[in-house]
Chains A and B, each alone.
Chain A
């Protein structure tokens, strides 16, 4: 049981997760932002580590990643910053990023350092299931780290079952086949997809992400899943002056 499992055991509905990029807008605010988000009531967090070529991300997160790299963010520095994480933040934390920086860092070393820092799970959009299963799953399990898989409206039922079997905390449902930062439009076909997944009665909870930007889209997503993730909309808030003072208002505007 890691913190994610404990959270999902205790709370089944309206879970709110927030994503932000480490090293953006300033190099040294990673923990400050996490602390402010916890105080504001977020249930768990995704901290992105930047990559030069983030193909699954839209302009907002691309820009935050580039800025973070320009500010000097690296995995080494992030783990250095995360040494204080568990002194100040108690909600579950996921790291999110692309596979190449992890491969260069060393996957085993990455998992070990993440666990030492008190990280609970990892989301790597471009790490395929086959490579995870055959090469890396042992490192994740040894370190009690959850690997989070994505599901899209095009994912087959057979594949969703397989993902459910490989998952041990939650499944990340994409609101549409898109990059991050779009607008959630609940068309009939998307509603059918949510209903289809819900009817499968998966053993893992589901959290909807991509396109969740306000209370309306958050509430809509929570009708079909255990909660939702806000990413680009929060990263946009961080572009504003005095963003630290606005974090609590932002979280309350999503889930009063």
Chain B
């Protein structure tokens, strides 16, 4: 793959494994094993079976007729919201739990922001009967109480991250600290295409099912497997990378990644990483991150907890820098309005994360015969409180 990772774990200038020596054996074990394991026929068979029977894949590619009329192009929604647990996060969680089992790990740790990845991880741990500890920022635990309860019902222990800003980046720090202290028996299921190599590549591969299915489904709908546009929201960037993956080498396909502008890119309350960030090192990889001139990580803001992350995955940083994908941003208000429009035009309540990708439709200039695929990464049940407060329902 032209845009894939090299042997040292880099995508152009980005990636690598910037980890303390304490994590080296864990990460090195993964690096040596991950391709062997995930390319193994038994692994593939078990992964595919669970995606089909447990997750409910393939997820539909839905031709959204009223959207298509409104925006003057053929708009398709890739319905990751219909997956078990309500988002694309389960694809990666299933892949990594099967990998952890083959590595002989007895204990799973994970970080979570909005709780979607935590719920997906707690779910697969229940499925496999493996101990599960989820780190979640104390502030996020208060904002996303129903997901905390879901994780507990699924048998996971939810540990509040009380350091720093008490949100996703701090939950990630706490999970890394746990892994340092438990190097032998524990696997860390990172939820996005971030972290030290091989995580960004491994998570992208597990999420790449999204674009693999899309190609086939689009061909059934239109007779062509390549659309003109593929669009997705980006926090760390896992649904976007899964949605882009099998289109990366098809240069005619325009890739659009939508970041969260929060209250506006220049408001001081934003998570638009490519607009506000600089190159540096975050959570084990060289990437683009929001930081002060002194190299301290800046706390991002978005109404959507899943996009509230100060960095992006290293492959996204590379695609941004070489202009293979276009990175744009959408504000809280635009996303919430787009979420409501999706309810009223298509009868689908989207996650606020996914609503960011939908909001970008307003700003695009399509031709009448353009085929456009938008990744509807998650469902909006978890966001009802936010929608209700915003629209006064």
Contacts and interface: CB of A to CB of B under 8 A. Distances in A.
B295 A102 contact: yes
Contacts of B163: 59, 62, 66
B296 interface: yes
A128 B16 contact: yes
Q: Range of interface residues on chain B? A: 35 or more
Contacts of A54: 173
Contacts, number: 108
A101 B281 CA distance: 9
B191 to A, nearest CB: 17
Interface stretch (B72-80, B175-183, B198-206, B252-260): B175-183
Given A103-B281, A104-B278, A128 B18 contact: yes
Contacts of B283: 53, 55
Interface string B153-196: 00000000001100001100100110011011000000000000
B323 interface: no
A55 B18 contact: no
Contacts of B176: 55
Contact of A55 (B8, B17, B20, B280): B20
Contacts of A149: 21
B38 interface: no
Contact of A155 (B21, B173, B291): B21
Given A177-B181, A179-B180, A74 B294 contact: yes
B251 interface: no
Interface string A40-72: 000000000001111110110010001001000
Contacts of B169: 53
A155 B26 CA distance: 10
B25 interface: yes
B22 A174 contact: yes
B390 interface: no
Contacts of B170: 53
Contacts of B24: 152, 154-155, 159
A123 to B, nearest CB: 11
Interface string B294-322: 11110000000000000000000000000
Interface in B134-168: 163-164
A178 interface: yes
Contacts of A216: none
A126 B18 contact: yes
Interface of B: 8, 16-22, 24-25, 163-164, 169-170, 173, 176-177, 180-181, 183-184, 278-284, 289, 291, 293-297
Given A55-B173, A66-B164, A177-B183, A126 B281 contact: yes
A105 B8 CA distance: 25
A89 interface: no
Contacts of B280: 100, 103-104
A53 B164 contact: yes
B113 to A, nearest CB: 15
A59 B164 CA distance: 11
A99 interface: yes
B124 to A, nearest CB: 25
Contacts of A127: 18
B20 A125 contact: yes
A130 B297 CA distance: 24
Nearest to A151: B21
A53 B280 CA distance: 13
A126 B27 CA distance: 13
B282 to A, nearest CB: 7
A155 B295 contact: no
A201 interface: no
Interface string A150-184: 11101110010000000000000010011100000
Contacts of B278: 104
B321 to A, nearest CB: 16
A150 B21 contact: yes
5 contacts: A53-B297, A100-B297, A103-B281, A149-B21, A174-B22
Given A66-B164, A179-B180, A126 B173 contact: no
A128 B17 contact: yes
B21 A130 contact: no
Contact of A101 (B8, B279, B294): B294
Given A53-B169, A74-B294, A99-B281, A131 B16 contact: yes
Nearest to A51: B296
A21 B291 CA distance: 21
Given A53-B282, A156-B25, 10 more contacts: A52-B164, A55-B177, A56-B22, A75-B294, A101-B296, A126-B19, A126-B281, A130-B16, A154-B22, A174-B22
A149 B180 CA distance: 16
Interface in A61-113: 62, 66, 69, 74-76, 98-105
A100 B22 contact: no
Given A51-B296, A104-B280, A127-B18, A177 B180 contact: yes
A14 to B, nearest CB: 25
Contacts of A75: 294-295
Nearest to A163: B21
Interface in A116-163: 125-128, 130-131, 149-152, 154-156, 159
Given A55-B173, A102-B295, A104-B295, A178 B180 contact: yes
Given A56-B20, A100-B280, A131-B16, A179 B295 contact: no
Contacts of B289: 100
Contacts of A154: 22, 24-25, 183-184
